[in-house]
Structure 1
């Protein structure tokens, strides 16, 4: 039986949060910051103040209520429109999510 891309994405999206929860205890924000800068920093700025909206800064992403940890997990394992492919392990994804957590405003 042939599995469609949509079905494969659903399976991955459902599996990643469960695996990631197991990895969450060892997530590291400093490693996440290094990964985010390496993979995303060429387009997404780290600075709090920028004059453009797109692409959003890391701080803007971290403070966007729709960008929950589960949303980010799914995003990182799914194809990205207008972006190069991102190849992160589940542990690396948790590190980036931990880094975004440090950028949230109180």
Structure 2
């Protein structure tokens, strides 16, 4: 019986460890896809990464993704809501076109932006 419990513990630990690695790989893939999406869709209006090949086209660009990620008021759920909304009530000096993103695109962008958050 004790051999069974030891074997069960070893197998369970392996499975749990493999799940954590898979989740980490999944998260890294999500972040990479979010970074690529940000460079193609968001870069004309925001600085999305420090190595961005070109500056935003806007005279007054939107906040950088680093600023967004490290704002104390931003969390993943808030970003999801914001990216899914039409942004009609941002005021006369803070406008953003509705990017009309699919849910999977929102998840990618949220993962990428949140990956830019510095440890506090």
TM-score, length-normalised on structure 1? 0.63
C-alpha distance in 1, partners of 2:96/2:41?
Answer: 11
- Residue 103 of structure 1 corresponds to 116
RMSD of Structure 2 on Structure 1 (CA) = 2.4
C-alpha distance in 2, partners of 1:85/1:101?
Answer: 20
Tell me the matched-pair count. Answer: 80
**Higher RCO structure, 1 or 2 (CA under 8 Å, sep 6+):** 1
C-alpha distance in 2, partners of 1:94/1:58?
Answer: 15
Indicate the structure (1 or 2) with the bigger Cα radius of gyration: 2
In structure 1, list runs of 5 or more residues that go unmatched. Answer: 1-24
Give 3-state SS (helix, strand or coil) of 1:94's partner. helix
TM-score, length-normalised on structure 2? 0.57
1:43 to 42, 45, 70: 45
In structure 2, list runs of 5 or more residues that go unmatched. Answer: 1-22, 51-59, 89-94
C-alpha distance in 2, partners of 1:80/1:102?
Answer: 23
2:107 to 83, 88, 94: 94
1:37-89 deviation per Cα after TM superposition (whole angstroms, max 9, x unaligned): 222111111355xxxx8521110001112111111111011112422221211
